[in-house]
Structure 1
Amino acid sequence: MNAIILAAGLGTRLRPLTNDRPKCMVEVCGTPMVERQIQFLHEVGISDIILVSGYKAESLEYLKDKYGVDIVINPKYDIVNNIYSMYVVKERFGDTYVLEGDVYMHKNCLRTDLNQSAYFSVWKEEYNCEWGLVTDSKDLLDHVHIGDGQGYIMSGISYWTKRDAEKIIARIDELIKSGEYKNLFWDNAVIDSVSLLDPIKVYGIEGLYEIDTVEELEGVEIRLLE
């Protein structure tokens, strides 16, 4: 089992905090988000960690020595969405956790006893403009609803078996080859492949925060320090 952390983007909505660092290096309660992710991965025994970087990549170099992280550069980080980040590390995708670099985990939700692909998801009583995970009575993914609603949402942490990863990679390859991928996320390849994948489990968790703006960061820190 390994992990891929996607952290190549510009983080424009978190400026000025990202003027001199990538979004994953923004601190929450004193710890960079990506460091907390790496620490939690090590805590459950996952040390094969690939970090896909781009913007201000030099600020991540210390992670190589401190944690043994392998850093791979997405050369198109400033012109495309994160589907290309997955494309550049596709050979290492399989039996893999995929983590978004702007996700702060208050508690360690990672586990290594998984035998099927899974989303680790936050429940929202009401969400707007989110990627909703619609499940059946067994908490298996039925489909993804993009828009407004109530329920689980994509929260930046997922796990993929080798079998499912192969099918997702095939779709990523198709999208990259078509040239029509500039505005796509890697999750688009998952959505396109859902009918071909084995049942995907959705685990509801708490203490997971995706931080896109300074206001969201301030709100999370206030909540955690109460």
Structure 2
Amino acid sequence: MTCCLILAAGEGSRLRPLTNDRPKGLVSLLGKPLVSRQIDILRASGVEDIAIATGYKAEKFDAFGCPTYHNAFFNSTNMVESLFAARPFLEQAQDDLLISYGDILYERNNLETVLQTHGDIVVMVDDGWLDLWSARNEDPLKDAETLKYDANGHILELGKKAQSLNHIEGQYTGLIKIAHNKIDDFISFYDQLDQAAQYDGRSFKQMYMTSLLQLLIDAGWKVKPARVNHGWLEVDTVEDLQLYESLSTEGKLDALWRPHEYTQ
């Protein structure tokens, strides 16, 4: 059965004061914590084996009853380090492995698209990303990253600073699936990386997940998109939360993400 690791070690400094007493993944949107919403969607799709990679105020996740794996260096590292803090969970996976950022939300239909897409590595890609980015930023290029496909529809490039909308064929969302038969190879690939090198200008311990995915692509791995159109949100700032709450009040949030979509 597919398992899922939620990466929720982050402090969420741009969400202060909401994160003064809780980690980023436990900030609430429309009255419910982000990670709680993820767990609901995962369980509705039959994903029961769920673990959480923790860091900042890790004890706050104890109430969920999920196994936790602590990144003790959360304040000086990044997502990849949190992922491998949970190495035992990766190594014991009995089926495909989902990896989900703790600060995103997604509808069940989107999760099902990821689960049903076959590939060595699958990532959820939003074709309708521009609507969400335009709602969050006056300049949608401000925070958008490149994503390009090769002739066979596999991801060729992702995670770079985009200079033009032409460089963005979709947007990476932070939801990944690794095929069960590739998990050991994935771990070995990480272990063989040069820890003294720089990765997109960052140290090994501070490597972005997109940098790791790009390294895999460059090494010949086939990274396949699970293409969706809306149906997810990213929460980075207090302004994001205020925007989503406002859109909900106006009856406009459903165009981007449906907060009560659990069983459809």
TM-score calculated relative to the size of structure 1: 0.88
Residue 220 of structure 1 is matched in structure 2 by 244
Residue 42 of structure 1 is matched in structure 2 by 43
Task: Give the 5 Å matches for 1:1-226.
Answer: 1-64=2-65, 69-93=66-90, 95-106=96-107, 108-111=109-112, 112-116=115-119, 117-123=121-127, 124-125=129-130, 126-136=140-150, 139-148=153-162, 149=165, 150-175=168-193, 177-178=195-196, 180-194=203-217, 195-225=219-249, 226=251
Check conservation: 1:50, 1:71, Cα contact below 8 A: yes
Q: CA deviation at 1:175?
A: 4.0
Separation in structure 1 between the aligned mates of residue 159 and residue 71 of structure 2, nearest angstrom: 28
For 1:144, give the aligned amino acid.
L
Which structure has the highest strand share of the two?
A: 1
1:124-178 C-alpha deviation (Å, 9 max, x unpaired): 3453343332124664312225112333111111211134433432232234744
Separation in structure 2 between the aligned mates of residue 127 and residue 151 of structure 1, nearest angstrom: 13
1:3-27 C-alpha deviation (Å, 9 max, x unpaired): 0100001110110000000000011
For 2:47, give the aligned amino acid.
I
Separation in structure 2 between the aligned mates of residue 209 and residue 176 of structure 1, nearest angstrom: 34
Residues 32 and 219 (structure 1), Cα distance of their counterparts in 2 relative to 1, 3 Å cut? same
SS of match in other structure, 2:81: helix
Matched residues, percent identical?
25
Bigger drift between 163-172 and 49-58 goes to 163-172
Structure 2 gaps of 5+ residues are: 131-139, 198-202, 252-264
SS of match in other structure, 1:159: strand
Structure 1 gaps of 5+ residues are: none
For 2:170, give the aligned amino acid.
Y
Q: CA deviation at 1:208?
A: 1.0
Check conservation: 2:35, 2:102, Cα contact below 8 A: yes
SS of match in other structure, 2:205: coil
Count of residue correspondences: 222
TM-score calculated relative to the size of structure 2: 0.76
For 2:82, give the aligned amino acid.
S
**Larger Rg belongs to:** 2
